[in-house]
Structure 1
């Protein structure tokens, strides 16, 4: 127990599309831990699922004149309410996110990704905070209550590489184009962009479309073409007969729509607002089509992440192979590994050859088509054209994908990074890194460093 009794305003954030029973179990453990610290806790003690309930809880806490504000990141959430909390309260701020076991099933909480989005959004606003990524019952909870924030923003360093080969990479990007389909979701500052700034950096151009354009093209796609595509996919993954056939047809038609937009517009990559509207308004997932497009060297970024699509084009040029835009969803100091994941859209050439790729459903929205497999072992390079803390930089990391059982459903892989996992975890949060990184097999660090030198970009080595 601390010598000083503090009033802690506690705001437990969650979303109903995750495993709420498990989330409530985690929340109960977190509150029990906090209660054992001897501080006065104020707040609802229940999951806050929307803006209205969070605003009401904030008013309750504000009236109690708290000494500290603690956000419990129990499931994934976007950063909108975190930023609202940071705006209302100027008291020291902390965020506690919880890990979940790697059991091969769905991401039940995905809380780390919520912490990741929050760190980026708060970094853009210059708001420092303390944080914790640990299960209830783990030591170290008192670190959340200090006056001095734990975040120490990383400083990007000028690249010392020879820019000569990097200039060739930069020239390969110039003149390429990205189709942005729909706007990025609210609270995803990680996916915001300025087309002029991106063009000045890379020479890439961006053309915007409404989601209705994609959906209308998909509905109009010939039935015969959709049937032919289904036959082609049957040769790549198993289990197509086990999913809803109407939803499968709609999903495949999204691939045909993207093909048509590429043929007409000459686009080299796409940044697509993939949820919720592809499910709620259209009725099929774009994840499987994104995998197929990526395999064909036309990368697709989720959540209309234009800089993510640009990063994929860069790493594809550096590696001369398909790339995969991943979320980092777990870091385990005891195992000294992390997990990278996305719903089910990795290029199938990245599948572990000992684990057959299968057709599956989106874990939250329960619609096809997604692909499911663990990533194959081998050396991997990660990178991100980043706008963390409002400054453009190139973030680079290297690691070894391990031969492991599937950590979570969809497409995922267990990575041993060059730095110890605990140090890597701290650097990800301190950097304010966006939640999407591009992954390619092989060691491409030297090429990326040379690109950074040619583009005048400082480098952050995670």
Structure 2
């Protein structure tokens, strides 16, 4: 169950230009509110119609007292340019702006000109450097406006979550895995707080949780989740101790923030000192909306958290890892799915994907690569156990990432695709991914713009919402996988 994300309550505030009938705005607002009730959306209809700045202050105060943390500013008619845009300045939360279409047949006393008014609204938002979400076609009937509000809710949830998030890290990046290291300047620009700690801090806290009375309950929950024979019974107590360590750290270190994500160093020192690898525990927290990103990937943790807010579902973080062998593609994919070999790749990580997003035969196993390097050759796996391995379940996905580059510039990518129902014949938490024109996207976005190897995965097609979230957060460079007919700027036109 996802618990570490905001609950959104939308307030609807109608605005009215004083040379237009105020009844147009109040009447049209009431129609929108009635449609929201029918759609079972949790909204508050503010009684104050904003015609001037004092009305604006009163409406914002009314919405705040009603528990609203996001607003739909509704131009029932042309609207007053200054007061309506100041709503976004004075209200502590994301705002959407939309306008009423003409529709009652009276184009004399009943014409509101909101189509025109929204142009001035957008112009004023820009002059004041204020942010507001404006839907793709922001003019409509009451039913249309309610549809826009419904689409705005996950956008608002992500924006509120980011503004109230603290990312807690343990340890520096492992040597030769600096790719996901990035300036924290971008976090502050987004309003995200960060707390950086040593691995020793985590080890001290872990040892202090030895014998915690809650451990048996967590062990029982792990056994229930995995099923008999799919976990190491002798490891459960240690992993439960670690899970409680992270949860208690999150609760006691939130500070002024409401939500938490982790980015932890998970190797090479971790296994020998803690007695296991943390992948399975990381997956359990991530399934609750508390991402624990591998290898101190702070922007990976942030990306995962945004996906959890958007989908209200578990997410994961994977390496854009390896190509699909040509023989495997020809035997199991070609002719069955409408993809080329270069559209496919394998997304992999040691075992951090939540069990609810994997095939039923998943199990807690050992980390093969770390066993090779950290434990005696020929020995049975010991402290390298603790990964959650198996194939990722087939279905729609969105592969995406928000990143701060080495120059301190925030940028993002989004690509929709699917996990294919094809066995990987490999190890780790892994799946065969298919994204249209992935080969070109890989070269002209991921490589060209120097993205790291980690990508966040949401288990739904949510590119539209993610794009709007990134736009609201002020990300100017948002890339997507382009069709062949639309070349990338760096693509050789003669190739």
| TM-score normalised by length of structure 1 | 0.60
Separation in structure 2 between the aligned mates of residue 195 and residue 376 of structure 1, nearest angstrom: 34
Residue 143 of structure 1 corresponds to none
Alignment of 1:44-443 (within 5 A): 165=152, 166=155, 169-200=158-189, 202-223=190-211, 224-238=213-227, 243=232, 245=234, 247-266=235-254, 268-332=260-324, 334=326, 335=329, 336=341, 337-352=344-359, 355-366=360-371, 367-388=384-405, 390=407, 391-419=409-437, 421-427=438-444, 428-443=446-461
Contact 2:324 2:432 in 1 (8 A): no
Deviation at 1:251, TM superposition (A): 3.1
Per-residue CA deviation, residues 245-298 of structure 1 (Å, 9 max, x unaligned), is 2x5533332212101112212351100011112113332111111001011110
- CA 1:439–1:235 in structure 2 vs 1: closer, same or farther (change >3 Å)? same
- The answer to whether the 8 A contact 1:219-1:250 is kept is no
Matched, 1:459 2:448: no
Which residue of structure 2 aligns with residue 89 of structure 1?
A: none
Which whole-Å CA distance do the structure 2 matches of 1:392 and 1:333 have between them?
A: 34
- Please give the secondary structure, in 2, of the residue aligned with 1:404: coil
Tell me what 1:8 maps to. Answer: none
**1:132-186 deviation line (CA, Å, top 9, x unaligned):** xxxxxxxxxxxxxxxxxxxxxxxxxxx9975994465323310211111111223
- 1:181, 1:271 within 8 Å by CA — same for their partners in 2? yes
- What is the CA distance between 1:408 and its match in structure 2? 2.3
Distance 2:447 2:469 in 1: 25
Judge conservation of contact 1:161–1:453 (CA < 8 Å) in 2. Answer: no
Q: 1:373 to 1:333 in 2, by over 3 A?
A: closer
CA contact (8 A) 1:161 1:446 kept: no
Q: Which runs of 5+ in 2 are unaligned?
A: 1-132, 139-147, 330-340, 372-383, 482-495
Deviation track 1:87-108 (CA, whole Å, cap 9, x = no partner) reads: xxxxxxxxxxxxxxxxxxxxxx
C-alpha contact (below 8 Å) 1:234/1:240 kept by paired residues: no
Equivalent residues, number: 299
**Distance in 2 between the 1:389 and 1:302 partners?**
20
> Does the CA-based 8 Å contact 1:248-1:284 persist in structure 2?
no
Query: Quick one: distance in 1 between partners of 2:424 and 2:237?
Result: 27
TM-fit CA distance, 1:331: 2.4
C-alpha distance in structure 2 between counterparts of 1:358 and 1:170, whole Å: 35
Q: Is the 8 A contact 2:171 2:264 kept in 1?
A: yes
Distance in 1 between residues matched to 2:222 and 2:157, nearest whole Å: 35
Q: 1:167 to 1:221 in 2, by over 3 A?
A: closer
Could you tell me which runs of 5 or more consecutive residues in structure 1 were left unpaired when the two chains were aligned.
1-158
Secondary structure of 2:401's counterpart equals strand
Going from structure 1 to structure 2, the CA distance change for 1:273 and 1:242 (only over 3 Å counts) comes to closer
Shift of 1:452: 2.1
Aligned residue for 1:216, secondary structure, equals helix
Higher relative contact order (CA 8 A, sep 6+): 1
TM-aligned CA distance change 1:453 to 1:161, over 3 Å: farther
* 1:268 counterpart SS class: strand
Partner SS state of residue 312, structure 1 = helix
CA distance in 2 between counterparts of 1:236 and 1:411 reads 16
Question: CA offset at residue 417 of structure 1?
Answer: 0.7
> What is the CA-CA distance between 1:209 and the residue it aligns to?
1.5
What is the alpha-carbon root mean square deviation over aligned residues?
2.5
Give the 3-state SS of the residue equivalent to 2:472 in structure 1.
Answer: helix
SS of 2:226's equivalent in the other structure is coil
Structure whose CA Rg is larger: 2
Whether contact under 8 Å (2:165, 2:192) holds in the other structure is yes
